[in-house]
Copies of this chain bind each other. A is one copy, B any other.
Amino acid sequence: MKENILITGGTGFVGTHLVEELINQGISPESIHVTTLNKKPHPFLDKVLPETNFHQINLTEPEPVLELFSLLSPAVIYNLASFSAPGLSLEKKSLTLSVNTNIQLNVLEAMLAHTPQARLLSIGSGTEYAQSPHPLTETSPIGPRNPYAVSKATQDMLAHSYHTSYDLDIVRVRPFNHIGEFQARGFVIPDFVYQITQEIEKGVKDSIHVGNLDVRRDFSDVKDVVKAYVLLMSQGISGEVYNIGSGIDISIQELLEKLKSFSSIDFPIIIDEDKKRSGETDVSVADISKIRALGWEPTIPIDTTLKRIVQWWRNQ
């Protein structure tokens, strides 16, 4: 029997790249099932997955999740679905916390009920860590600083508790910033690239509006990140947690300068105080030696990733 792979939130930013990666690795599209909250035509996935493999369900409700697990009996579950914008989470604190907690709980309960032998990938975040000496290892103190980060730490703790209490086969990850095609506005790189390609290059605006440029973050290409996810589902140790990042910190200022250099138009940078977030950490960079030991490496240089993103937005 062919084993089903379930990707919650599979039509989102990371999910789209993960489906592509699985197909590139020779997985049959017939076995890849994705959940989606709002079924709308998807520019890429509609071409590669059978229509019956899209499951339009609300993962914050327990019953549809139980039904889906009963129907598919997935052997492998990538739980990508998440309210995932740290900035917006400051406006929608309660929603962020309840959505992410309930999705995780419902998936874990459905797994316990219907597929207790399956393997789950639980997606935490590099934002779970407190501001600590860098780079951050998997044993660095937890101390999230915004509701999104708290919700990811809660998901991470729930995954850990179901592993320890019920012996479920769960691998946990803490990805740091990742970027690529399909990422929506509300994140720093799409926000910058949108303004450059859709506004400035089209003559709608003549300057870019940005928040805090001084903070340093660890950026990876989403295509490298999904490779790490797939690797961990075969090589990761059950119950363990793995950082995923580049291991290199770069300032938002440097990223913006790179993007600026890719445009033929010169434009001024306007710092909006109200785009700055209170309580942000200065630096966040991952120690990736634990996943490196499994044979994973970031492979795509940041300039290549940024150029690809700019080109993708120009084609929108």
What residues make up the interface of A, taking CB atoms closer than 8 Å to B?
62, 93-94, 97-98, 101-102, 105, 109, 139, 141-147, 149-150, 153-154, 157-158, 160-161, 164-166, 277-279
Contacts and interface: CB of A to CB of B under 8 A. Distances in A.
Contact of A279 (B101, B161, B279): B161
Contacts of A157: 142-144, 150, 153-154
Nearest to A101: B97
Q: Is the interface of A mostly helix, strand, loop or mixed?
A: helix
Given A98-B102, A144-B157, 20 more contacts: A62-B94, A94-B101, A97-B154, A101-B154, A105-B147, A142-B142, A142-B157, A143-B157, A145-B160, A145-B161, A147-B158, A150-B154, A150-B157, A150-B158, A153-B153, A153-B157, A165-B277, A165-B279, A166-B278, A166-B279
The 5 closest A-B pairs by CB, nearest first: A165-B279, A164-B279, A165-B278, A150-B157, A154-B154
A142 B128 CA distance: 12
A204 B160 CA distance: 42
A171 to B, nearest CB: 16
Nearest to A143: B160
A143 B158 CA distance: 9
A161 B150 contact: yes
A282 to B, nearest CB: 12
Nearest to A150: B157
